[in-house]
Amino acid sequence: MQVVHPICAGIDVHKAFVTVCLRRVADNSVVSMDKPSAGSHRG
């Protein structure tokens, strides 16, 4: 299958936390994914 977008990201925002997902496909077709999450607060 041909890679159309080698990098894509998504964000999920909730009242208590935020999660981001980043997927990358390297030139050698290896896929890596980062999914950090952080709490949110209001000042």
Condensed to tens digits (0 to 9), the pLDDT of residues 1-43 reads: 788 899 999 999 888 888 899 999 998 989 999 988 788 766 5
User: What is the Cβ-side half-sphere exposure of residue 3, based on CA atoms within 13 angstroms?
Assistant: 13
**Tokens 């999450």 sit on residue:** 37
Strands (DSSP E) along the chain, which ranges? 7-13, 17-25, 31-34, 37-39
Question: Which spans in 2-42 are helix H?
Answer: none
The answer to whether the pTM exceeds 0.75 is no
Percent of the chain with pLDDT over 70: 93
Would you kindly state where each structural domain of the chain is located, as residue ranges?
A: 7-38
Question: Which spans in the chain are helix H?
Answer: none
